[in-house]
Homo-oligomer: A and B are copies of this chain.
């Protein structure tokens, strides 16, 4: 269900968190779906349960998932997500566009690029 990349310089908990975040945002995981238990995922990935715990905790604080004591962790509905997340992404986007402008890449170039790349994302 999820994989970790030992070459990735990011901490493990962040990789896991990101993978779930993406799956939730993209709709690959629909609301109220149960996530694998901490212990289960930890053993299947062969990493420390604390690492999973931390990833889940952060996802919860950002509103991506909710936890029910003794039951497990579940995907939250989209409108529970902290709006700051979206704003943060947009801010990053603006910054990135301005950096790319310095390399001579125009909004038009980027638009073409998006039209090419998003078709893949659309049918997933």
- Name A residues whose Cβ lies closer than 8 Å to a Cβ of B: 6-7, 9, 11, 22, 24-27, 61, 66-69, 74, 76, 80, 82, 84, 86, 89-90, 92-94, 96-103, 105-107, 110-111, 113-115, 117-118, 121-122, 124
Q: Which residues of B contact A24 (CB under 8 A)?
A: 102
Is A111's CB under 8 angstroms from B107's CB? Answer: yes
Q: Which residues of B sit under 8 angstroms from A67, Cβ to Cβ?
A: 9
The residues of B that contact A105 with a CB separation of less than 8 Å are 86, 90
Determine which of B9, B92, B93, B99 lies in contact with A110 in the assembled complex, contact meaning CB atoms within 8 Å.
B93
Q: How many copies does the complex hold?
A: 4
**Contact of A118 with B103 in the complex, beta carbons under 8 Å:** no
Residues in B with CB closer than 8 Å to A102 are 22, 24-27, 121
Residues of B within 8 A of A61 (CB): 61
* Closest CB in chain B relative to A80 CB, distance in Å: 8
Query: Within the assembled complex, what's the spacing in Å between the Cα atoms of A113 and B94?
Result: 8
In the complex formed, the residue of B with least CB distance to A71 is B6
CB distance from A22 to the nearest CB of B (A): 7
